[in-house]
Structure formats: C-alpha cells, structure tokens
Chains A and B, each alone.
Chain A
Amino acid sequence: MALKTEHMVLNMGPQHPSTHGVLRLEVELDGELVIDVRPHIGYLHRCFEKHCEALSYPQIVPYTDRMDYLASMYNNFGYAVAVERLAKIEVPERVDYIRVIMGELQRIASHLVALGTYGLDIGAFTPFLYLFRDREHILSLFEMTCGARLLYNYIWVGGLSHDLHPDFVRKTREFITSFRPTIRELNDLLSYNKIFVERTANVGVLPLETAINFGATGPMLRGSGLKFDLRKDDTYSVYNKFDFDIPVGKGLMGTIGDSWDRYYVRVLEMEESLKIVEQALDQLPEGDVKAAIPKKVKVPKGQIYSRVENPKGELGYFIISEGKDAPFRVKVRPPSFVNLSFIGDLCKGHLVADVIAVLGSIDIVLGEVDR
C-alpha cells in the first residue's frame, strides 16, 4: 500500500523581502522540488489606462513615469515617440541626441538596481551598496538637468522640458571614467564568484524556442542566444548613428539561457550603454529643444502601436485617437508582465531556493506589471 502524499502549497506572499514589490507567488511543492509556480498580480494596479482617457496628451507624461519607476526616462521616451509618430511631429536633432543620452544613462541606472537586488537575494550584501553608490551619480546628473531624481517628466511630446545644464557634459564624462572600474569590480566580486555561479548557472534555463513562443523580449530573449534588439532591428530616434554591440548569452558558465546568462547580458549591456553615451556626447549638435513643442497637441484620428527598448524589454504603446484633446484609448504592453508569465515553466524541477534566483534574473518591476 503506497503512502498517500500531497503536494504542499507554499505562499510567497505579497509581503516578502525578495519579491521585487507586491507579488504573490503560489509555489506548489513536492518535498523540496517545485511542481508549479503561479504568480498572482494586481496589488499595485492604479488604473493608468483609465486615467489616460481623461487627460490631455501632455498631461499623461507624468503618469507614464510611474509605471516602471526605475526607468522613467524610457517610459516617457516611448510615449513621446508614439504620439509623435501618430501626430507626425518632427523633433530637432538635438532633442533626439539628448533623449538617447538620457535613455542610455537610465538603462545603466535600471540595470544597477536589477543587479544589486539580485545579489541581495542570493545573499551577497555588499555589491548592492557599491552599485547604489554609482547610481547616485546618475541620479544627481538627472537632478541637475530636470530637477527630479526618480520620476522625471522630462521627455515631452515634441521636445524636452529643459535644455541641458551647462555642466552636464563635463560631469557625464567624469561619470563615465569613474564607472568603468566599477563594472570590473562587480565582475570580480559577484559575477565570477564560484558560489554565485553555482547558485545561478543551469537554473531557470529558458530555451530559445520557448522564449520566442512566449514573447519574451529584452535581456531574457538575448540571454537565450538570440541577437534581437529594437534599437537595431526597429530603429527609432537616432540610434542608427551609433556603433554598439548587442550582447548575447553564450552559456559561459552553464547552459545557454540560464539565469547567469541573463545576469551577464545585463552587465555587458551597461558597458555598451557607456559607449553609446560617449558617442552621443561627441556628436551632440546645437539647437533649441523647445522649438517643436506645440501649444496644443493636435493628434489626428488614427491608431498606432509603437515600441521602444526598455531596459527590461520591449515597451509598447498602443494609442487610439479620435482627434480630441484626450486619447480614446492608451494600452501599454509592459515587458515585465510578459516576462513574468512563464515563471512556472522556468522553475519546474528546481528547488525552492531557486525560485528566488529565477525571479531575480527575470527582473520585474511591479509598477509595470500592474500599471
């Protein structure tokens, strides 16, 4: 007579130090092995899309800040590109260059948070503080330009809210020289550390076929080996003028597509962003950043889906306009939402402690998942 066994259900509730925000993961266990992981979201839903139906186009920009609050510049950027495409507004070249600089600096800042908190989940307490110290430099650069440290409202439809501060170029170059040694230090301290590699290699392997079928984008897709980046494959703004590489996961420490690959792709992306910022600073043209901002944004009837490369993946805006002040419908395709959806498949067959490692490597921000 066989022993009657049941699967245990463990609830990693909304309040947990390691889920990056209010996320509830229902983990079904057989002893220590994970059978299934079901994410429950919605704890941070703030009706962004409903708000957009009552606000005029420029007034929506502060709301887009608050979706992925760790990468607000890029949210603004995506929205501005979408509305400008729909309303056929041409921006001066200087505006494009500054947008690219801000976007890439924001990418570095967002990756710093992702890598720091990933180390914290695995148990390494110090890289978190070193990376946040460098993030402070980026945030003070942003504060010098637009006055805010986290939610910027800087990239407006048709231009920018402020021109660059006179000290900005000098301070950014100083930041770049001081940041390269930090990436080396991070690699020494965390990336190649045997214990970290043991915890993350061969854990949460995402095969390339599955990644494409599920719609994964960003470092998740590139970690599985596919060289696909919207900045090169579906260019927007002036990205086609820069020379940079797309890092891909190669399975250096385990199988292609495991958590270490996704982590290392982010480290390499920071290096590439530095290159882009340097080139943009060298090529920065003169101009007036507020020239193309219309007094009243007039958007003709129509609809558009436009996408940009958020630090976390493909951020898409679908806007339907009826020609009035406010849009008829704004739908956002958040990258974290889609990337989170297949955490169940990634964690099957692993131990309980690996769920945390996989969740950290997906890099979600609940503001984006729930909007």
Chain B
Amino acid sequence: MYEILTNLLNNTIIAYIISAILPLFVFILPFALFAVYLERKVSAFMQDRLGPNRTGYRGFLQTVADILKLIQKEDIVAAGTDKWFFNFAPVLVFIGSYAVFAAIPFSSIYIGTNTDIGLFYIVAVSGIAVAGILMAGWASNNKYSLIGAMRSVAQVISYEIPTALVVLTIVMITGSLNLNFISDIQTQYFWNWYIFGGPGFTVTKFLLIPFMITAFVIIYISTLAEVNRTPFDIPEAESELVAGYHTEYSGMKFAMFFLAEYANMFAVSAIVTSIFFGGYQSPFGYLGNLIGLTWLIPIEQLFWFTIKGLFFVFVQMWLRWTLPRLRVDQLMTLCWKYLIPYAFVNLIIVGIILLF
C-alpha cells in the first residue's frame, strides 16, 4: 500500500502518514459504529424484540445519535481525583486497542508494518490497556472503582497466558511470527487453513486437526476474557455489586472506552481468523483470477477478511446474550486450572507430532 501511494503521490512522507491512518478512519471507526448497532439488533432479535428501528432507516443511525448525545454531555470530573491520570486513562485504553491493528494484514497489499515479530508485538501491545484500566480505577478516587479495576487487571493479565501458549503452538507449526506470512501460506482452498491442519496433504495435517480445534477454542475463550465480554464482564457489569472502573467517566471519555471495546473485539477476531482461518484468503479461489482482472484480488481479500472478522464478532455477541456471568474467583479458576493446563498439554502434543 505504501508503495502504491508513493507512486501515486511522489511524496514518501504523505504516503507514509496516509497509509498509517488509513485503516483507522476508513475501517475501524466505521466498524466500531456499525458494531454497536449490530450488537443491539442481534441482541434484540435473539430476545424476540425489535431493537432500535426509529432513528434512520430501521435504526441505522442509532449509533450516530448515541455519539452525538455523548459528545454534548457535561464532562464531569469528580473532586479529589488525580487529574492527569484521570484524563489520560481513556487515551491509553484506546491506544492499547488500536495499536494492535498495525500488525494485522487486511489484504495482501496492505499491512501496517510488515515486521517479522508481528504476533509478539500484538501480544505485547495489548498489555498497554492494562495500565490504562489501572489508571482509570485509581484516579477515580472511588474505592469500588479501584476494586473493579484491580479485578479487571487480574483478569486481563491471567488470560494473556493461554493466548500466548496458543500463539506459541502456531509459531511452532509455521515457523514465523509474521502474520502476513501466516495468512499467505494458507492459500488456495479452505482445507489449507490451519484449523484443518495447514497446507499440504501430509499425515501431520490430519493428526493435527483435533489439536488445532482445541487450540482455537482456548484462544477464543481467552481473547473473550481479554476484551471483558460476558461471561467475563465482571468489570463492567451493572447488576453486580461493585461498580466498574469506568463509572466516573461521562461524555466523550466514556465514548472512548466504549469505542475502544468494540475495536478490541474486532482486533481479537482478526487475530483468530488470521491464524486459524486463513486471514484474507478466500475459501475457494478468486473472482479476479477467473475474469482476469488482477487488481480485483486485493479488494476481494479485504471483503473476505471483513466477513470472517464479522462472523467471529457475531459469535462473541451471541455468547454474550446466552450465558450468565462468572464470579471473579471462578474466572480465575477457569484460567489457571483449566485453560492453562489444556493449552500446555496441547502445545506439547503438537510439538511431539511435529517431530515426526
């Protein structure tokens, strides 16, 4: 993308800036707005009701109305808070979700930074949000927010471990940390995806299938916990006893927490699809190849990437409206006593399979 823009504009700096902020404004922000509307409609249809259907055609402009409302709200800052931390915390959480998109391949010609340590960077950067949450809880000068923030931090940190273990499994199989490379080798047809064992028709591929499915389930659950969605939404549950870390926020700062959560949801879905489901590859060849228009291929890849990401976001919403909430200690039990041993055993068995 960077090269195309450089050729177009003959100016490397502007090309650089545009290719860095392009996904932010063209893709992620509209996606976050769409995801809020999708969540409300999906939850409504699952509950046999209609959801928003008065603002715009079938309620399409509901999120715009929400954002307008949040912008014009009074920005209440409670007394006794640590002003600098209070104002900076939403920014950090925002950064933690959006910086992840730098290493995710949207299509074969666009990746923010084609670094060789993509996966490692992603796991590291999603930890920045932890600092933001803790800042928000501490600076609110509210003991319940602090407790909520500490619980949330414990949750995010614990669930990074199964994520990292599964990522390690994939790295063992593919031999690279670069997400672009991983998406690239799952070409041609859908049976080349890693959920079905990977490209090539060897015995290893068929042996790997059950362990890949287990790894997918583990990483899906752990990333669900990282974005604080039900059943792991103790930090933001309204009907629980202790209020969450973002109760003291109002107006635009709250909107930043809100949008950051939906962008985070898409980011983790994108990671899961890139690793297991072929990223931007289509399941059965390209229309561009069929017709002969090669410039159509990257656009098709973007389309497939979006569809797969949206599907996993839909499954996250589906889980939210089906399951009750886990208690804090049960959350920790699930991570340390169930997910980590399974992920570990999975890793070892995959390693043994790969040896032969």
Contact = CB atoms under 8 A, between A and B. Distances in A.
Do A and B interact with each other, yes or no? Answer: yes
A123 B321 CA distance: 9
B44 to A, nearest CB: 9
A119 B239 contact: no
B49 A123 contact: no
B324 A352 contact: no
Given A199-B327, A353-B328, A133 B239 contact: no
Interface string B317-332: 0000111111111100
B242 A125 contact: no
Nearest to B237: A123
Interface string A189-213: 1100101101100000000000000
Given A10-B241, A129-B48, A130-B48, A119 B324 contact: yes
B329 A124 contact: no
Name the residue among B46, B324, B326, B329 with the largest chain A CB count within 10 angstroms. Answer: B324
A351 B151 CA distance: 14
Given A129-B49, A198-B326, A351-B328, A120 B241 contact: no
A121 B239 contact: yes
A124 B48 contact: no
Given A193-B323, A198-B330, A17 B238 contact: yes
A356 interface: yes
Contact of A126 (B231, B240, B241, B322): B322
B202 interface: no
Contacts of B233: 123
Contacts of B322: 124, 126, 189
Nearest to A125: B321
A126 B324 CA distance: 9
A18 interface: yes
Interface string A168-179: 000000000000
Interface in B290-332: 321-330
B47 interface: yes
B107 interface: no
A356 B328 contact: no
B230 interface: yes
The 9 A-B residue pairs with the shortest CB-CB distance in the complex, in nearest-first order: A123-B325, A124-B324, A129-B47, A123-B324, A122-B324, A17-B239, A18-B239, A353-B327, A352-B241
Interface of A: 10, 12, 17-18, 27, 119-126, 129-130, 133, 189-190, 193, 195-196, 198-199, 351-356
10 contacts: A123-B230, A123-B233, A123-B324, A124-B323, A193-B324, A195-B231, A195-B324, A195-B325, A199-B324, A352-B242
